[in-house]
Structure 1
Amino acid sequence: MMLAFLLFVLTAAALLVWSSGGARGGSLAVPAHRSGDDDADGGAERSVGPGVFARWPRRDRAAEAMQWVTVVRRLAALLQAGRAPARVFGELSAVSTGSGPTGRWIARMCGDVHAAAQVGIPVSASLTRFASAPVPVGDRALAATARSVCAQLAACWEISERSGAPLGRTLSGVAESLESQLDAQAARDSALAGPRVTVRTLSWLPVLALGLGVLMGTDPITTLLTTWWGRLALAAGAALSIAGRWWTRALMHRAEVESAS
């Protein structure tokens, strides 16, 4: 039992070291803003952050989110160049729309909207359907961004279809607004990366302390499980750990809400 516990402690320590060097630990890089088509080719999976596991490819969620800015800017450029609003998604689907799950979903969305427009379905109706449909990109924040962008595009196209208003300048404003939102989100994530790592480290300290006690020759596990005061200390420690974890999460959530407002 002691050997199994030691293996568990060593595994937990390795995971702790790995998670401390991960994307939330300050290695989330905001991609450089480029007005051209180079944004779409920014790899969605690359090695980020220092550490032993830096050679492992990790998902660059910031780059994936910025692919939406590139797509909206391309749509605006095509419309300003005189393309028909019902055909721009077809031209966009013929070129690379990015990489990773988000890029593949964007390509699927463009192809489906174009195919629907070919049979007479309004672009706004197709975009509205995508805005309310599940987004299988493997990340909740990226899925929310995808639905939000599709909803904004649907509103723009609906207004244009009803009033005949030009879309190019409107979509340029949507792209700038989306870029500002993503920049603000990246700044919040960078500011909260340190507290997140601190909370994760403090959460593992009791387990690591037990492992240290075993390595020193004592038997803290037996004491905690077989004596009444040990059980009391174990219950109190677990309750305080859970309460501390909940409290720190509430503080970070409050900080995120206040910084977003």
Structure 2
Amino acid sequence: MSIASIMVSLDLGRSAGDRVRLAADLAGRFEAGLIGIAARTIDTPAPVGDILEAQDAYAEERAALVDDLAEARTIFARSSGSALRTEWRQIEAGPEAFLVRQARGADLVVVGRDPRGDGAGALGAAPGPVLMEVGRPVLVVPPGIDRLAAARIVVAWKDAPEARRAVTAALPFITRADQVFVVGVGREASHEGAGEVADLLARHGAHVTAHALEAPNRTVAGEILHFSERHDADLVVMGGYGHARLREWLLGGVTRDILQDAPLCCLMCH
């Protein structure tokens, strides 16, 4: 598997430029194209008695939308550096929905971990809904990180289709890493096949070891992050777990905790 096209979500948050620089560095490393993308809807003006006032309010919102998209495009152009091939896409639409649609032309989607807390504004694409619907590997980047070496990778293994897809999607990173740790957490970890996954990755040329963790005093997500910190990892690979109820995507506990708390990049697949 190779990475030929990387799509990065733009917003007006404090870490938007860092996220683009990280994506551009990956594009250079994999000789991939880089696509910047931004979208937001226009806030509907409150009902007023005069139609002219309503038109003026809409015109102001429309002008704000144009300004926001122009600023996002400037951030992308300024931060993408010497990426070999770049492309820009923008529209008036919901940011998650537009990103999900456009990701059909990408091998990897890069989003911020906490756009709301980062001051992203209405352009911010929340990683949870994107992960659940996009059908592509999603690289979730915490605030303040502008480069991903992917030198030491933790594969948070659970014998489920989501984790299998994540491992396959991460092979371009795994085969270049200095060390890979396949980690199972909990009472059933020894029966989940982490050793077999490690053997498979070794056949792909990875320097890999398998580990079973008990996590008696932490949550599963907490144990994964603690292990990653102790082993100086800079990337976690894992499945993204959730389900749909009443047409709303709901995240599983481990996925939710990682998206809320992870201080390092996470590559996830649903």
Do both share a fold (TM > 0.5)? no
How high is the TM-score relative to the length of structure 1? 0.27
Select the structure that is richer in helix.
1
How high is the TM-score relative to the length of structure 2? 0.26
